Homo-oligomer: A and B are copies of this chain.
């Protein structure tokens, strides 16, 4: 029966995450397994006001079919923000609105990847990128992440050996690891990439959610011709609207636009107008400051509890932003063993192996801190600490 399918879909593994998330829903379970923004912080009233304003001012026009590029006003707003915030000079005409960053990944795969083309992937790497590029039959070339960014010797070897078309990176507060590329690491990466024909996909969903430390330079500034930049409003304004974007120079933009048109004609243009209206009528930075403060407190509580409760032999990252902490167990201890013991103690997380393309098991796992309160975080980490001490001591 399976021969009716395209080869590309038969290669994609069944979602292990689905099973995990099911377990996470059991009563009294404290789940660090999710990856959702905090629903308490969504600007519900402001979005309602923006929606009504769009209905009242723009009328039936916003209900009609629209162009594939996206609403120009929104693309201009995004370009202005890049200029004001980061000194990046981006033409609104080079911004393509997508259904969240995930569609950005899909369109890039569709536009750039032939079967078997090499894609450099961070190890651990973002699951959504693994899924999107798998469907274009990418050959992944994983490169290790260290606490200060990508492993430079391994990246250098990989670039030389495979001359990959694409290097997919989440340089700020990466999902799943929480790791940020330090400034030196970025400069070194830029130097390695700049004279190649490799495109660095700079996926930056969490960049605005920095709680501490200093802003790092975008690859779009360091190596503009080699960088495709992805952004989204999902972590700062609203996820359900699915509004993201790709910044791409003209020859690639044109092909991405053809792919976008063939994929779904255009992103919900009413939602684009509502987000634009919200941005015109509200101070996004003030709203982001509220999110930063709240997530920062959750992050601090989690890190403090980990220091307090976990065996010293368990390594944790120290994210300066975003939504995730990454844990590494002493060698030889499987995250699945910990997971099975943990769910008995009513605490859940995501074992690390789905974030690698070449492992069945790992000694790493991911904890999310964005969507529960500080007290729950402390109780959950306490439970998990007990489990870890039981297995390690």
Binding site for B on A (CB under 8 A): 1, 4-9, 12, 15, 36-37, 39-40, 42, 44, 47-48, 51-52, 55, 59-66, 98-100, 102-103, 106, 110-115, 117, 128, 131-132, 134-136, 165, 197, 199, 234, 238-242, 251-252, 255, 258-259, 261-271
Known: A48-B55, A128-B262. 4 other contacts (CB 8 A): A4-B252, A66-B240, A100-B264, A242-B265
- Smallest CB separation, A279 vs chain B (Å): 16
Copies in the complex: 2
Contacts known (A42-B63, A44-B59, A268-B271); A9 close to B111, Cβ less than 8 A: yes
Contact B110 A6 (CB under 8 A): yes
Residue numbers in B under 8 Å from A252 (CB-CB)? 4
A41 to B186, CA, bound (A): 54
Contact B264 A103 (CB under 8 A): yes
Contacts known (A102-B263, A135-B259); A64 close to B12, Cβ less than 8 A: no
Contact B63 A52 (CB under 8 A): no
A358 to B238, CA, bound (A): 45
Residue numbers in B under 8 Å from A265 (CB-CB)? 99-100, 102, 128, 242
Contact A262 B131 (CB under 8 A): yes
Contact B135 A110 (CB under 8 A): yes
Contact B240 A270 (CB under 8 A): yes
Contact A113 B263 (CB under 8 A): no
Residue numbers in B under 8 Å from A266 (CB-CB)? 242
Contact B110 A261 (CB under 8 A): no
Contacts known (A6-B111, A258-B9); A264 close to B42, Cβ less than 8 A: no
Contact A197 B4 (CB under 8 A): yes
Contact A62 B240 (CB under 8 A): yes
**30 A-B residue pairings within 8 Å (CB atoms):** A4-B165, A4-B199, A6-B111, A6-B112, A6-B113, A6-B114, A7-B114, A9-B110, A9-B259, A36-B64, A40-B60, A42-B60, A44-B55, A44-B59, A44-B60, A44-B63, A48-B55, A51-B52, A99-B99, A99-B265, A99-B267, A100-B264, A103-B264, A132-B262, A238-B270, A240-B270, A241-B270, A242-B266, A264-B264, A270-B271
